[in-house]
Amino acid sequence: MVSLFENYEQQYSALTADITAQIGSLTASGSKDRRQLISNIEKHVEEAQELLEQMDLEVREVESSKKQRCKTKVDCYRAELKRLTLEYIKARAVKQEALYDSAEDIDVRISIDQKQCLLDNSETLERAGRKLNDGYRVIVETEEIGNQVLKNLAEQRETIQRSRNRLRETDEDLNRSSRTLNGMIMRIMQQKVILYLVGICFIVLVCFGVYLSFKK
């Protein structure tokens, strides 16, 4: 069953694919198609931003074990949207410059510094996106390691529990053996006491017999 977050991801992927295709068309389009493309791109960018906001809200509702992974995905998507927005601004500015030159209406150009700033920002966003992807991979690997550790701990817990049960059974056996041994010792002591009493009685009888023989 597809979750709401995954549904948002699918919608976002479709939107960004449309934005990318339309940005490519914007560079080669004429003045008539250009207005429609710009309107469509800006509309799709707004829809993508709304989807990101919905994803942010949905991240709060997911399980704690998946929350960090989903948050990292949203950060990556946001960086990707910023990159696409910059590409759109560059494509629109370059096309405007070409139209102005061909029509010779006004002499307006984006300065070299502005272009370089846009390129630098695009590269910065791409680097940030790569870092986020690396961070996402690290989180996934860490989660897998954590799951393996939890599995090992569960197995060790079962082993300790079985060992504890065996120790408990051994202790019960020792207690039974100890009670049996104590009973045997008590019987031996009783037998010794009886033997001593018989010996004493025998000595008394012998002494009494000797006394009677001397008395006669």
Domain encompassing residue 46: 4-164
CATH number assigned to the domain comprising residue 84: 1.20.58.400
- Does residue 47 lie in a domain region? yes
Given a contact cutoff of 8 angstroms between Cβ atoms, the answer to whether 46 and 20 are in contact is: no
Predicted TM-score (pTM) of this structure: 0.43
More confident residue, 126 or 112: 126
- Does residue 192 lie in a domain region? no
| Of 22, 115, 121, 5, the residue nearest 69 (C-alpha) | 5
Q: State pLDDT tens for residues 115-161.
A: 566 666 667 767 777 777 777 778 888 878 888 888 888 888 888 98
Is the pLDDT assigned to residue 103 strictly greater than 70? no
| Helical residues (DSSP H) of the chain, grouped into ranges | 4-28, 31-59, 64-103, 112-215
CA distance 42 to 33: 14
- So what's the pLDDT on residue 112? 54
- Does residue 99 lie in a domain region? yes
| Residue 69: burial class (beta carbons within 10 Å; 0-12, 13-18, 19+) | middle
Is the pLDDT assigned to residue 48 strictly greater than 80? yes
Percent of the chain exceeding pLDDT 90 equals 1
- Does residue 43 lie in a domain region? yes
- Does residue 190 lie in a domain region? no
99 — pLDDT class (breaks 50, 70, 90): very low
- Does residue 180 lie in a domain region? no
- Does residue 205 lie in a domain region? no
- Does residue 194 lie in a domain region? no
- Number of structural domains (the chain) is 1
- So what's the pLDDT on residue 29? 59
Q: State pLDDT tens for residues 202-211.
A: 898 888 888 8
Is the pLDDT assigned to residue 97 strictly greater than 70? no
